[in-house]
């Protein structure tokens, strides 16, 4: 049993089209923050954002999903309003999985669904492999669920990541938070994420910057940019994939992951074949890597969550969930 956490509070906010509450949970190094939608007794769904984003990435999608479900979207440590990891610590996928385990322990969720975008989808895949008994459905938004690294690169990455971390730690006195005007901060965010619409950038900036004297500073921890020292090769990823017992749906944007993150030749085919062998549903949608934030209506139409009875689908106008005996998904042209 993981230790209980002393703070699990919700604070109302009026920034969303659909009422959301602020999520706060104490962890040994500070707190994990996030947002909550829906009734406390609703079907539990955990939402995990991508690298360098924050839980605001789900602000436009969740209002289109069933209102009687309980959505909790977190800011990963080092992102958004969540605390940074302690000095000297690395940011790795196993630690993000541990963060998810802490959150669901505090929520007292024994079984739940996961919606993950980009890096959040890779955390969702790893969590679902390690804790298959806790996950009843997985939706991966423009992500493969696992991110294999060539064996020849694994230890190069480890060496570089360790060296980068030590170099960063040794420059404590040289670090300065750069102050931007809001427009300059927005320009920088959009330059790093060309797929973001103007409105989507504003949404992410609600949690990506904080106001200081003279302007704004980014809230994320610079260390998330350092090389990840914990990698898995293809064989390990395929094995972990086989451990996932929950139904899986993968939405791939036609102008998204394939163009923004290039894997070695043959890797994508191997991953998708393995998911297909496990009866995962794979859907192609028109759009870019942030399609779920930029045009959530295109994603909400094909983002139901499966149960043992069948697949949940819902009417976009009423947002009432119904059950289908078989999935009836198809590519949106």
Residues 219-258: tens digit of each pLDDT: 999 999 999 999 999 999 999 999 999 999 999 999 998 8
Name the 3-class secondary structure at 63: helix
Q: In this predicted structure, what is the pLDDT of residue 322?
A: 33
| pLDDT at residue number 332 | 25
* Given 82, 113, 118, 274, the catalytic residue: 118
Positions in the chain whose pLDDT score sits under 70: 1-18, 302-333
d(CA 160, CA 227): 7
Report the DSSP pairing between strands 30-37 and 69-74.
antiparallel
User: What phi-psi label fits residue 67: left (phi over 0), alpha (psi between -120 and 50 degrees) or beta?
Assistant: alpha
Q: Using CB atoms within 10 Å of the CB of residue 76, give its burial: 0 to 12 exposed, 13 to 18 middle, 19+ buried.
A: buried
Domains, in order of start, for the chain = 8-153+230-324 (3.40.50.1820)
The pTM score is 0.87
CA distances from 289 to 143, 174, 193, 227, 299 (A): 9, 35, 9, 22, 12
Identify whether 118 is a catalytic site residue.
Answer: yes
pLDDT for res 6: 29
Contact partners, residue 88, CB within 8 Å, separation at least 6: 165, 169
- Tokens at 300, concatenated: 């909400």
Alpha carbons 305 and 248: distance in angstroms, whole number:
9
Distance CA 206, CA 204 (A): 5
Quick one: pLDDT at residue 324? 35
Cα 207 to Cα 61, 72, 226: the distances in Å are: 17, 16, 21
Handedness of CA 16, 62, 196, 191 (dihedral sign): positive
CB 301 within 8 A of CB 251: no
Contact 23/36 with Cβ under 8 angstroms?
A: yes
Look up residue 325 and give its two tokens: 């005996």
- Rounded distance between C-alpha atoms, residue 20 and residue 71, angstroms: 9
What integer pLDDT is reported at residue 98 of this predicted model?
A: 98
């Amino acid at each position: 049993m993981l230790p209980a956490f002393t703070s699990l509070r919700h604070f109302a906010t009026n920034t969303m089209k659909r009422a959301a509450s602020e999520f706060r949970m104490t962890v040994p190094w500070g707190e994990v923050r996030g947002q909550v939608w829906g009734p406390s007794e609703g079907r539990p769904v955990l939402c995990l954002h991508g690298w360098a984003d924050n839980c605001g990435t789900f602000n436009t999608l969740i209002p289109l999903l069933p209102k009687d479900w309980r959505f909790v979207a977190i800011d990963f440590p080092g992102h958004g309003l969540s605390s940074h990891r302690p000095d000297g610590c690395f940011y790795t996928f196993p630690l993000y999985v541990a963060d998810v385990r802490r959150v669901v322990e505090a929520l007292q969720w024994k079984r739940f669904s996961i919606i993950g975008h980009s890096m959040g989808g890779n955390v969702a895949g790893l969590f679902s492999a390690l804790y298959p008994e806790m996950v009843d459905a997985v939706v991966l938004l423009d992500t493969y669920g696992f991110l294999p690294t060539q064996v020849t690169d694994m230890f190069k990455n480890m060496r570089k990541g360790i060296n980068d971390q030590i170099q960063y730690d040794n420059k404590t006195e040289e670090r300065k938070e750069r102050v931007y005007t809001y427009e300059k901060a927005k320009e920088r965010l959009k330059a790093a994420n060309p797929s973001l619409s103007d409105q989507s950038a504003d949404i992410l900036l609600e949690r990506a910057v904080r106001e200081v004297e003279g302007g704004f500073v980014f809230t994320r921890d610079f260390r998330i940019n350092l090389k990840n020292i914990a990698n898995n090769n293809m064989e390990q990823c395929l094995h972990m994939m086989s451990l996932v017992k929950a139904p899986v749906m993968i939405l791939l944007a036609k102008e998204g992951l394939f163009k923004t993150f290039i894997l070695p030749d043959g890797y994508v085919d191997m991953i998708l074949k393995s998911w297909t062998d496990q009866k995962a549903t794979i859907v192609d949608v028109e759009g870019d890597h942030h399609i779920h934030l930029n045009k959530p209506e295109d994603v909400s139409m094909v983002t139901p969550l499966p149960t043992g009875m069948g697949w949940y689908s819902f009417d976009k106008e009423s947002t009432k969930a119904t059950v289908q005996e078989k999935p009836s998904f198809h590519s949106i042209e």
